Amino acid sequence: MYHLNDIIPGGIDLNLIPDVSFNPDGTLFAVTYLNSNEVVIFDARTRSPVRVFKNPEADFDSPHGVLLTENHLIVSNVHGMTRPSSFTVYNLNASSGEPVSVFITPHKYLREAHSLAIYNNVIVVTYCHNTEGSGAVVSYQFDDNAGVIQATLDILQDCFENFGDPKGIAFSKDGTSVFLTYVTQKKMRGLPKYTRRMKATWVAWQERSLKEFFQYIREKIDNRASEAQPANRNIYNGIAIFGIDNAGQFTEQPTSVFARETFCRLENIDIVDDTVVICDTINGSVCLYDFKKDPQLKAPEHIITENISLPHGAKLSPDKSMLVVTNYGLKVANQVIHWRTPSSGNNRGVLVYDLKTV
């Protein structure tokens, strides 16, 4: 069982801490601090900061998702939803804190690169709150020697109209599947639906050439004409599993969907061996499942609530001896997040749990 050993404070007032990532050998973990525009790398053993990437040198703009590879730090920047998310890459062996490369997604309508995962130099990214559609998952090729995200490999988008915005993402232990958590949105109707479509069309008109714009309109008309009506389902959150091959190509539809029939607002997800870790922000818990024993993720083996109030990111160390949770520490009332109100526990920060064996 995991027990809380350390709380690393969150810094400035209401500093949101979206994500955490271990390096491959588990000696370091990196944490994003969205409001202070910083990423801190900690020694996993001592829990002391060993390096801080911060502005102006780091050139962050609301850092959100984070990855640590053997040689590099990769950070997604959401830019306050004003423009497409970008990725900054830093060389861990260089003295400079400046990015060695910056990658901007070629899909200009994508906003909030929420979560990242990597397997054999293929990076997968979830996007939510886009100007078109309800969400997307994109795979990119990464060169860990040069520290460069090279190209888009594949994109999943249309399927999320049926069950909502993707949030967290993780590779299965063999790298043949990606698990993602999603938040279901109610289907828009009437004026709100018309307004969203007009906004997306206006953004497409501004960002595309005349030829590209008319191609966009044609594709939208064709897609809507061929859309099957989704079945009515009383669900709000869940986990979807998609296949992915060595070239970063996804299956068109999920191979499995595990719907949650009660509202829980699942966020980030992590997988180490057969252990699946999922954050439930609304219920203030981190759930650990044994996927081998429970392949439909119905009953967690452990539910961690100690000092937690609105957990957003959670990662296990490679040897599973340590669990690190980024805790927003915000008030939740009637299943609604109060984004400017701290919880009474005042425990915003990075929570470090160690495995205790009996």
Residue 101 has pLDDT above 90, yes or no: yes
Mean pLDDT of 297-323: 93
Residues β-bridged to residue 119 = 122
C-alpha count within 13 angstroms, C-beta hemisphere, residue 133: 26
Q: Which residue has the tokens 């299956």?
A: 251
pLDDT class of 265 with cuts at 50, 70, 90: confident
Residue 263 has pLDDT above 80, yes or no: no
pLDDT of residue 142: 97
Mean pLDDT of 276-291: 93
Residues β-bridged to residue 89 = 74, 101
Name the phi and psi angles at 18, rounded to 5.
-75, -40
Q: Which of 19-33, 103-117, 161-175 has the highest mean pLDDT?
A: 19-33
Mean pLDDT of 108-114: 89
Domains of the chain, with CATH numbers? 2-355 (2.120.10.30)
Q: How far is CA 55 from CA 97, 114, 228, 358, in A?
A: 9, 21, 47, 45
pLDDT of residue 175: 97
The span from the first CA to the last CA of the chain, in angstroms, equals: 9
Residue 299 has pLDDT above 70, yes or no: yes
C-alpha count within 13 angstroms, C-beta hemisphere, residue 187: 11
Mean pLDDT of 269-281: 95
State whether the Cα torsion 260-265-271-276 is positive or negative: negative
Q: Is there a contact between 168 and 279 (Cβ–Cβ < 8 Å)?
A: yes
Question: Distance (Å, rounded) from C-alpha 249 to C-alpha 161?
Answer: 20
Percent of the chain scoring above 70 in pLDDT: 89
C-alpha count within 13 angstroms, C-beta hemisphere, residue 349: 16
Q: What is the pLDDT of residues 79-89, one digit of tens each?
A: 987 888 999 99
pLDDT class of 91 with cuts at 50, 70, 90: very high
pLDDT class of 185 with cuts at 50, 70, 90: very low
Q: How many helices (H) and strands (E) does the chain have?
A: 3, 26
pLDDT class of 310 with cuts at 50, 70, 90: confident
